[in-house]
Amino acid sequence: AQTVTQSQPEMSVQEAETVTLSCTYDTSESDYYLFWYKQPPSRQMILVIRQEAYKQQNATENRFSVNFQKAAKSFSLKISDSQLGDAAMYFCAYRSAFSGKVIFGPGTSLSVIP
Amino acid sequence: NAGVTQTPKFQVLKTGQSMTLQCAQDMNHEYMSWYRQDPGMGLRLIHYSVGAGITDQGEVPNGYNVSRSTTEDFPLRLLSAAPSQTSVYFCASSYLRGNEQFFGPGTRLTVL
């Protein structure tokens, strides 16, 4: 069975600074997808970024980028130029290309300090 | 498009009662899933479905039943509610393969 681990329950960052959130996963599959979702206090789940396991190039979306290390099974999220609106819970998720099912890590609560 | 809708938004049950949480999507997504969210534990997968008539268990299926008779609907049934099932429940849907999931607004369930 696949598992997703986020070892940082809470993180904080100064406004305009850079922060990196960690995620590791365990799987025996070779084809899968990885995601970062953001959940603000409204509880709405928002996709931040997506990575395909067979693509070596790291995904980027504006201020958000990932460091995908397939051999190490690591998928960290870097947020540059942090803004107050980035304060939220961040969840790492794994999607099996075989079964389609999606599992999540326990989340990291990010605070942004003005 | 209404996206993913869930009803009710809030529910209080007594131990032993049964109920059904409703989930519907209008995006013609093959994949639908149910999660429960508890503090410090993230979203844990209860059941999922890759199409009408096909369901499978997730990480925490005990105490819950699902069925998928249509592409649009994926109800979650609590057979005999227990206090341990107090949680926020999310329904999500997506196309298959590597597509992102779209989430409903959640149902906050309290079991006394």
Q: Express each pLDDT in B10-54 by its tens digit.
A: 999 999 999 999 999 999 999 999 999 998 888 999 999 999 999
Report chain B's C-alpha Rg in angstroms: 13
User: Within a 10 A sphere around the Cβ of B83, how many other Cβ atoms?
Assistant: 10
Question: In whole angstroms, what is the distance from residue A86 CA to residue A99 CA?
Answer: 32
Question: Cβ contacts (< 8 Å) between B90 and chain A: which residues?
Answer: 45
Interface contact A40, partner B, CB < 8 A: no
Smallest Cβ distance to A52: which of B43, B56, B98?
Answer: B98
Query: For the residues A69-87, what does the mean pLDDT come to?
Result: 97
pLDDT given at position B78: 96
Establish if A11 touches chain B: CB-CB under 8 angstroms. no
CA nearest B36: which of B48, B28, B26, B25?
Answer: B48
Query: Which one is predicted more confidently, B109 or A1?
Result: B109
pLDDT in tens, B68-84: 999 999 999 999 999 99
CA distance B100 to chain A (A): 7
Chain A and chain B share a number of CB contacts under 8 A equal to: 54
Residue A93 has pLDDT above 80, yes or no: yes
User: What pLDDT does residue B30 have?
Assistant: 95
**Ranges A10-14, A70-74, B38-42, B61-65: which has the least confidence:** B38-42
